[in-house]
Structure 1
Amino acid sequence: MSKLVIILPKLWKANSIASVIAIAYTVLPSIIPSVLAAALSTSLCSALPSIAAETQQVRTITFPEDRSYGTIIKLEPNWNIFVRHPKGSFFAEARGKVQYSAKDALMLSARFPLTDNPAVMKKLPADSFQYITFLNLPAEDKIFEPLTHLTGLRRIDFQEGEFQDKAFAELAKLVNLEAISVRECFVTGDSLTHFGVLKKLRAMVWKKVALDWKLLNQSSTVFPAMADLQFSDTNLDDEGMNWLEKMPNLRQLSIDGSSRVTDRGLLILKKLKKLKKLELKKMKAVTPKGIMQLKGGSIEAIHVGDANYTQLEIKQIKDAMPKVQFLFDKKKMKEGTMEIFAPLH
């Protein structure tokens, strides 16, 4: 730059174009390299932070090389924890080193090698997976303590597991957990009394599970964030319906195949001031009067499936609750074919 300061006065005093060219030809070659170097240095300095940021975004999950520990799915951005099968695409087998972006939302569909060697989970980045599914967990309960290392988990699905409540209670350590699905497992409910610390827990699914309603009702545990609750072929009864009072912000409730819930148990729903959507399937002990007693509550849509109501009874329900959207999907009513009212949204 100092050479450039020297040459400028000379160029100014030159009395001809030829003199200007001669001076420039003599001095500029020694200036250009330093100017270019300065420019390149400035460009590199400004680019380095973005290069470093991109490098930091690439992360690595390391599994043993011997076999696959599951299938890794890349979920769509802003994936919905309430959907049973969130959209995503195959990303990699859980084997060896797997590189991914820190922005990716990953799901692991675990296989037997992982449940047989759960210590592998302790070596994974704590926030590497947002969603894990387990199938056919053995009775040893040994996966739960290592599982709590994965504090980035937002959802866990269990299907056909032989584990017990004591181990299942370990999930209370996963403070970012938003959804739990338990299908055909031996959980009875004692573990749920520990879940009050899960302030983000918004959804639970229970299928073919026998819960201890007396224990749950006596517990002081509440679920302030619970918004979506589903029961399918469980032992839910009128006593169990009282448990829902511990979920004051519940917005959607689905009950399928709970023949022991009667009109009396259904009445508890009027106490849930945030409840908007209700699904009742194969509820043999719930009568049209039981549904009509919900009139004036907060419910906006009701789906009734596999109910032997007559066309007259359906009309009475509709007339009694004109502001509620109904869907009746029983194919053979007592007096004719299926009648569908406004669908649930």
Structure 2
Amino acid sequence: MKIQALVCLAVITCGLPSLPLSAYAFPQTAVRTIVFPVGRSVGLISFVHQNEDGQFIEDADFCQARGLVRVPAARLVALKVNFNGAEDLSFLDKLGPDDLALIDFNNEGRGFEISDRDFVHLGHLTGLQGLNLDDSEAGPQALRAVGKLSKLVMLGLATTLIKDDDLVELEGLKKLRFLQLNYNHLSDAGLAHLQGLLELRRFEARRCGLTGAGMKNLINARHLETLLLSDNKIGDFGLTVLPPLPELTYIDIGGTASGDRTLISLSRDLKLGTIMASYGHYSRTGLSAVAKLPNLSQLSIEGYPIAATDVAALRGALKLKSVILTIEPPAVAAAQKLLPGISLVLKDARKERKQQFIEVLK
């Protein structure tokens, strides 16, 4: 019923001239007005809320971002920028600092070819709590504008043009809980600028050129709940420099050359429920360590074949429901017998070796 009422308000108000509040739905609800270009829609307005790790969850689409848009004063308002908006970001200059809680330039994962210099229009929107610049040409000028947005809780910078030195602009964003840096040309030097982000709950840095030495820069992120570091050169010692992460529930270290020492380090993080650790070299030693985690429910160790006798070390995992692993065909029956009641996704080691050979040829 609430969503229907919001849609009704959208139909009456979006893009129309100013009218007395009594002319609209929700006459007893305080409203505010956001000014967008009259002749074109620059995107879609929706209402959102935030979860604890800083992600925005959409509650309901509201209307097109065109003309005068009246919204309930207490709601968090998001703008999904469309092609018209992306072509000319000067419309942002007419927005008030607190008009929007979130701006999303991601275009449903396709991104826009917005040049770095165009993002300077963001600098005065100091009330923004979320900003998604994924798949754009954001670089040093964009980051200088972003650095002024001290209320940001969520920031998406995946697949952009940012470099290590640009990340210095993030040092003042002390409220950040969700930071996404996937698929950028970075290094451990860039990660050093994140040491002061003490409120991080979710950190994503897949395939960013990081090594094990850079992990020390996360030493202060004691509230991390989700950590995605796949396809970096972290090695088997990288995570050993981190202290126990008491809130960590999900980690992806696939393709990081991890091994038993990594699993032993993770065994200290008692809330861990999911470990994605494909293409590592593991034995009974490491698997015995993570089997003691009281909340472990999903484990992925596919990639390199593992012996059935090593798999047996997981029998003590009390809540384990799913294991993805690569095993030699003759050992399949033994693995299934050793772990009754656990869903096993078994990858054929022969096919894995063939695929790895094909990848090398490429």
Normalising by structure 1, we get a TM-score of 0.71
CA contact (8 A) 1:165 1:189 kept: no
Unaligned runs of 5+ in 1: 1-53
Aligned to 1:111: 82
1:220–1:108 distance in 2 versus 1, CA, 3 Å:
closer
Distance 1:318 1:55 in 2: 56
1:226–1:193 distance in 2 versus 1, CA, 3 Å:
same
Matches within 5 A, 1:143-162: 143-162=118-137
CA contact (8 A) 1:63 1:120 kept: yes
CA contact (8 A) 2:54 2:177 kept: no
Deviates more, 1:333-342 or 1:123-132: 333-342
Q: Give the count of matched residue pairs.
A: 283
Distance 2:342 2:130 in 1: 34
Aligned to 2:206: 232
Matches within 5 A, 1:197-208: 197-208=172-183
Q: Name the SS of the counterpart of 1:87 in structure 2.
A: strand
Matches within 5 A, 1:278-317: 278-295=250-267, 297-305=268-276, 307=278, 312=284, 315-317=287-289
Distance 2:159 2:28 in 1: 44
1:207–1:313 distance in 2 versus 1, CA, 3 Å:
same
How far off is 1:302 after superposition? 4.7
Distance 1:341 1:176 in 2: 44
1:147–1:318 distance in 2 versus 1, CA, 3 Å:
closer
User: Residue 326 of structure 2 aligns to which amino acid in structure 1?
Assistant: M
Q: Name the SS of the counterpart of 2:34 in structure 1.
A: strand
Distance 1:97 1:220 in 2: 39
Matches within 5 A, 1:1-345: 57-75=30-48, 78-80=49-51, 82=53, 86-135=57-106, 136-138=111-113, 140-217=115-192, 219=193, 222-245=196-219, 247-269=220-242, 271=243, 274-295=246-267, 297-305=268-276, 307=278, 312=284, 315-319=287-291, 321-323=292-294, 325-329=296-300, 330=302, 331-334=324-327, 335-336=331-332
CA contact (8 A) 1:169 1:192 kept: no
Distance 2:245 2:232 in 1: 25
Q: Identity, % of aligned pairs? A: 20
CA contact (8 A) 2:116 2:140 kept: no
How far off is 1:317 after superposition? 3.0
User: Residue 333 of structure 1 aligns to which amino acid in structure 2?
Assistant: T
1:179–1:265 distance in 2 versus 1, CA, 3 Å:
same
How far off is 1:116 after superposition? 2.8
Deviates more, 1:303-312 or 1:200-209: 303-312
Normalising by structure 2, we get a TM-score of 0.68
Aligned to 1:7: none
Distance 2:59 2:251 in 1: 27
CA contact (8 A) 1:190 1:216 kept: no
Deviates more, 1:112-121 or 1:324-333: 324-333
User: Residue 188 of structure 2 aligns to which amino acid in structure 1?
Assistant: W
Q: Name the SS of the counterpart of 1:183 in structure 2.
A: coil
Unaligned runs of 5+ in 2: 1-26, 303-323, 344-362
How far off is 1:62 after superposition? 1.8
Q: Which has the higher helix share?
A: 1
User: Residue 60 of structure 1 aligns to which amino acid in structure 2?
Assistant: T
Distance 1:341 1:293 in 2: 24
Distance 2:184 2:287 in 1: 35
Distance 2:277 2:183 in 1: 19
Deviates more, 1:90-99 or 1:224-233: 224-233
1:227–1:257 distance in 2 versus 1, CA, 3 Å:
closer
1:263–1:63 distance in 2 versus 1, CA, 3 Å:
same
1:241–1:58 distance in 2 versus 1, CA, 3 Å:
same
Q: Deviations over 1:304-343 (max 9, x none)?
A: 2363677856752345x3445252145443243787979x
Q: Deviations over 1:155-185 (max 9, x none)?
A: 1111211121243122111111111112211
Aligned to 1:29: none
User: Residue 225 of structure 1 aligns to which amino acid in structure 2?
Assistant: E
1:146–1:95 distance in 2 versus 1, CA, 3 Å:
same
Distance 1:145 1:259 in 2: 31
Q: Name the SS of the counterpart of 1:243 in structure 2.
A: helix
CA contact (8 A) 2:260 2:282 kept: no
How far off is 1:275 after superposition? 4.7
